[in-house]
Structure 1
Amino acid sequence: MTHAPDSSVILITGTSSGIGLHAAIAAARAGHTVVATMRNLEGARALRDAATDAEVSLDIRRLDVTEPHAATDAVAGTIDRHGRLDALINNAGSGRLGTIENSTVDDVRAVMEVNFFGVVALTRAALPLLRGSTGRLITVSSVGGAIGQPFNEAYCAAKFAVEGFMESLAPVAATAGVSVTVVEPGAVTSSFVANVGRDLNQSGLANDPYAAALEAYLARAASSFGSAQSARSAGEIVAALLDGDRPPFRVQTSEAARQFVAAKLADLDGGVVQRMTATWLA
């Protein structure tokens, strides 16, 4: 892979599909050198095909954010090959649909490992390089990082943790010249949604006592994803945060996401959100 000596080097996690794939392509098209990582390189075909169609080059590497030393190895490998790191986009994530009574603590821990501790590990490994380049730390969260949603307890807990971590880190990182941004997509069409919803009957979630509430929630979710934002649109918004003025701390990727998050930020006693989410289960 060739790139200009002064081109910005971007490390992105979770690029096999969805927002991560499109963010990687958009960043490369904008002239950045992109290190695109994913848990399993057997899933790289869609990304490679997209890069061919866009006529861009990517440095595609394996990275499972839950593995010990994976974060430090990924950053070290980027420096060894490209000599610098100007931005980290934490995008890798996984969901789990279910309520705690029908889940195990290990199920919750697994979601936290990918969505939270993976982000923490990559951030810790990348910050010394981002300080050197006065770079950008961008993390794809979710509107579920602002509003807790029924049957998404583990996922929303992880995204809440990410946003609390980044909101606390942002002013500290800013003193060293590093900007911190969390991106909050709403409903996005991607394989992520299908992966969360599969095998519900085998998971036990369809059993009493929450069967009626789950059925209502799934119907509402299916309706919302019928008008979802495209993964390409969301990915391009993420990539655009690499250029121009330093972005704000919190960015939503659609008007629907902005309105959704705004309800929480103005809801001092929590009543508005509770009344809203209760209607999803009726």
Structure 2
Amino acid sequence: MKIALVTGTSTGIGLETAVLAEQAGYTVVATMRDTGKAGPLRERLPGVDVRQLDVTDPDSVADCVEAVIAEYGRLDALINNAGAGHVGTIELESVDDVRDVMEVNFFGVVQVTKAALPHLRASQGCLITVTSVGGVVGQPFNEAYCAAKFAVEGWMESLAPVVGRLGVAVSVIEPGAVATEFVANVRADRDIEALVAGAGVYRPVIGAYLDRTAKSFSAAQSARECAEVVVAALTADAPRFRYQSSEWAAGFTGVKLADADGSAVQDLTTSWLAE
């Protein structure tokens, strides 16, 4: 029996990943900040093990991972999916706003990964993190969000050869626009209409950006399609470091990444650790 812990499973990519991972033969521990939102997941996976986990709360993280090990005795995969979007630019928000975005999207990943790594080493398991094309290409009015996702990608790219020498496979998944509640959550995070109204000299450009974004999400990839890529990495015999979740995402990140699957960088940095 293989155990996979997935964060952020109440909706979207996390929910679909939990379903597909169970279908692939894993026993899934589906975590979310508010377990009162577990209804849609339980409809798809009756009897699924749902646990409370707030990635920004160190005690919540430690308690959850310890409870999983106490019950199952092992952890074979961690899928970091929990995160939150954010729209803004630094003159129109506070530094604390930026810190909050980093806390959820970067330090949350760090905390859960740190708690899980000893158990992933023991099982020779895998560590998968859903990042974003915004972790490769910086995008207007996504300064804080892209900074957090860049940080996740840099951290994982640096960690991968280290824990890879100890048997843990590390992968990042880079979605583009995905048809989930992500956009609604961005709007909940900030009153977008109020942001535009108070944008001053930025108002014309933020309006253009929001119009363009609305059009891109009208042709978004489904959450299930993205989850299929996550589970492909989960079940691969030799998972690569970097996966884009669609042809569009591959083309977009390819503008910046000639090394689209991350293998050249991984080969280079892994060679630095040869005995």
Aligned residues: 257
Distance 1:40 1:252 in 2: 29
Aligned equivalents of 2:28, 2:243: Cα separation in 1 = 22
- The alpha-carbon deviation at position 203 of structure 1 amounts to 3.8
Unaligned ranges ≥5, structure 1: 1-6, 268-282
Say yes or no: does 1:162 pair with 2:152. Answer: yes
1:240–1:78 CA distance, 2 compared to 1 (3 A): same
Q: List per-residue Cα deviations over 1:138-158 (Å, max 9, x = no partner).
A: 000000000000000110000
Q: How does 1:73-152 map to 2 (within 5 A)?
A: 73-152=63-142
Partner of 2:209: 217
Counterpart of 1:197, as a letter, is R
1:68–1:204 CA distance, 2 compared to 1 (3 A): farther
The AA in structure 2 aligned to 1:231 is A
CA distance in 1, matches of 2:37, 2:90: 31
Shift of residue 225 of structure 1? 0.8
Q: What TM-score comes out, normalization by structure 2 length? A: 0.90
- Contact preservation (8 Å) 1:51, 1:58: yes
Counterpart secondary structure, 1:265: coil
Corresponding position: 1:14 with 2:4: no
Give every structure 1 segment of 4 or more consecutive aligned residues whose post-TM-superposition deviation is greater than 6 Å: none
Once the two structures are TM-superposed, the CA of residue 207 in structure 1 deviates from its matched residue by: 2.4
Classify the secondary structure of the residue corresponding to 2:50: strand
What RMSD, in angstroms, separates the aligned Cα atoms of the two structures? 1.4
Contact map agreement 1:24 1:239 (CA 8 A) in 2? no
Give CA deviations for 1:46-87 in whole Å, capped at 9, x if unaligned.
1111224xxxx4110110111122222221111011110000
1:265 aligns with 2:257: yes
TM-score by length of 1: 0.88
Structure 1 window deviating more from structure 2 (245-254 vs 137-146): it is: 245-254
1:242 is paired with a residue of what secondary structure? helix
Q: Which amino acid aligns with 2:59?
A: H
Aligned partner (choices 229, 238, 254) of residue 230 of structure 2: 238
Residue identity matched to 2:96: D
Question: In 1, Cα distance between the equivalents of 2:146 and 2:204?
Answer: 21
Mapped partners of 1:32, 1:90: distance in 2: 16
Does the residue aligned with 1:210 lie in a helix, a strand or coil? helix
1:176 aligns to what SS in structure 2? coil
For residues 155 and 51 of structure 1, the distance between their equivalents in structure 2, rounded to whole angstroms, comes to: 31
For residues 175 and 147 of structure 2, the distance between their equivalents in structure 1, rounded to whole angstroms, comes to: 16
Identity fraction in percent = 58
Q: Are the counterparts in 1 of residues 58 and 111 from structure 2 also a CA contact under 8 Å? A: no
8 Å contact from structure 1 (residues 206, 214) kept in 2 = no
**Aligned residue identity for 2:104:** V
Matching residue within 42, 48, 54 for 2:42: 48
Q: Is the 8 A contact 1:102 1:205 kept in 2?
A: no
Deviation of 1:246 (Å)? 2.0
After superposition, give the CA deviation of every residue in 1:105-151 in whole Å (9 maximum; x if it has no partner).
11111111111001001111111101110000000000000000000
Give me the whole-angstrom Cα distance separating, in 2, the residues matched to 1:141 and 1:185: 7
d(CA) in 2 for partners of 1:175 and 1:210?
Answer: 48
The answer to whether residue 221 in structure 2 is matched with residue 229 in structure 1 is yes
- Which amino acid counterpart does residue 121 of structure 1 have in structure 2? Q
- Contact in 1 for aligned 2:87/2:141 (Cα 8 Å): yes
1:3 aligned partner:
none
Distance 1:206 1:228, change over 3 A: farther
Contact persistence 2:22–2:28 (CA under 8 A): yes
Give structure 2 stretches of 5+ with no counterpart. Answer: 260-275
C-alpha displacement of 1:237: 1.6
Q: Could you tell me how far apart the structure 2 residues matched to 1:207 and 1:161 are?
A: 27
SS at match of 2:55: coil
